[in-house]
Amino acid sequence: MASLRDIQNRIGSTKKTKQITNAMHMVSASKLSKAEQNATSFVPYSEKMQEIVKHIALSNETFEHPMLKPREVKKTAYFVITSDRGLAGPFNSGILRKVYRMIHEKHQSPEEYTIIVVGRMGRDFFRQRNMPITNEFIGLSDQPVFSDIQDLTQESVQLYIDQEIDELNIVYNHFISAISQEVVTKKVLPLTGFDEEEQEDVNSNSEYEFEPSKAEILESLLPQYAESLIYGALLDSKASEHAARMTAMRSATDNANELIDDLSLQYNRARQAAITQEISEIVSGAAAQE
């Protein structure tokens, strides 16, 4: 049985841990507010970019841009977004488990896929398993701006244009709410998904005039659009990371409170037992002197 001093030490160390987790919870809550605002503010830009690209791509003209043409998939790239630090609950494990399972179900050898990874947790996970990494980015800001990852997004899109890969998928945590995040996989390249109904809408409702030609605009716009999809996912993932860490730290703080209560109860019982034993020894000693 633990001594009173041991229990006191455990109570003290648990209280210190609680202070740390509570502080981390408040910091993450503050970061979440800004990250959620960043992700929400980017949505109108992304939607407008998508609208313009679809309008041009679905027009009656024929475009031969490689980003619009699916080809035989010989090599797939996975753009995986994780965090640099842990203590975020299942934020990283959910993504890494999904990517690992997906790769082993779809590919027979490392020559059939490659990985572009953001975050130290993902980088270390794939390195430990000797999985091919084409590019990595460590140290992403808690509130990233596009210039932070511009080179990474451009290089990722260029891999497809140069036909070094035939498909680019992005895997990340989608922010639903402060207590809910979902691991999602989206195909970034090739840019597909334009259906016949959208084709008719575009042809019957032309509201844009283009200068210079549509082809020239598309040549410049398509890489930017693909890069915006990646950047939007990064903003979404950052909001999810802060939310996951906030939830994890709040849970850790609650667990610390419960442990402190249990230890305090254990301490009081042990102290009461020690006092009772001392009284019994005093009474026994007095009785022996009679």
Number of structural domains found in the chain = 2
Q: In degrees, to the nearest 5, what angle opens at C-alpha 267 toward C-alphas 261 and 273?
A: 140
Residues 128 and 8 in one domain: no
Instruction: Identify the CA nearest to 74 among candidates 188, 153, 163.
Output: 163
pLDDT of residue 83: 93
Residues 9 and 42 in one domain: no
Residues 227 and 274 in one domain: no
Residues 207 and 100 in one domain: yes
pLDDT of residue 212: 73
pLDDT of residue 204: 47
Residues 195 and 256 in one domain: no
* pTM of the predicted model as reported, rounded to 2 decimal places: 0.83
Torsion sign across C-alpha atoms 17, 19, 23, 29 = positive
Residue 289 lies in a domain: no
Residues 258 and 213 in one domain: no
Residue pLDDT tens, the chain, 290 long: 567 888 888 888 999 999 999 999 999 999 998 998 898 899 888 888 888 777 777 765 666 777 877 888 899 999 999 999 888 888 999 999 999 999 999 999 999 999 999 999 999 999 999 999 999 999 988 888 888 888 999 899 889 988 899 999 999 999 988 888 999 999 988 887 555 444 455 444 556 666 777 777 777 888 888 888 899 999 999 999 999 999 999 999 999 999 999 988 888 888 887 788 777 767 676 666 66
Say which CATH number the domain at 8 has: 1.10.287.80
Residues 237 and 171 in one domain: yes
Residues 133 and 196 in one domain: yes
Residues 93 and 70 in one domain: yes
Residue 285 lies in a domain: no
Which amino acid, one-letter code, is at 216? E
Structure tokens at 123: 């980088």
Residue 287 lies in a domain: no
Residues 156 and 220 in one domain: yes
Say which CATH number the domain at 88 has: 3.40.1380.10
Residues 215 and 265 in one domain: no
Residue 40 lies in a domain: yes
Residue 290 lies in a domain: no
Residue 230 lies in a domain: yes
In whole angstroms, give the CA distance from residue 117 to residue 133.
7
User: Quick check: 122 and 103 in contact, CB under 8 A?
Assistant: no
* Containing structural domain, residue 259: 4-25+248-280
Residue 288 lies in a domain: no
Residues 259 and 210 in one domain: no
Residue 177 lies in a domain: yes
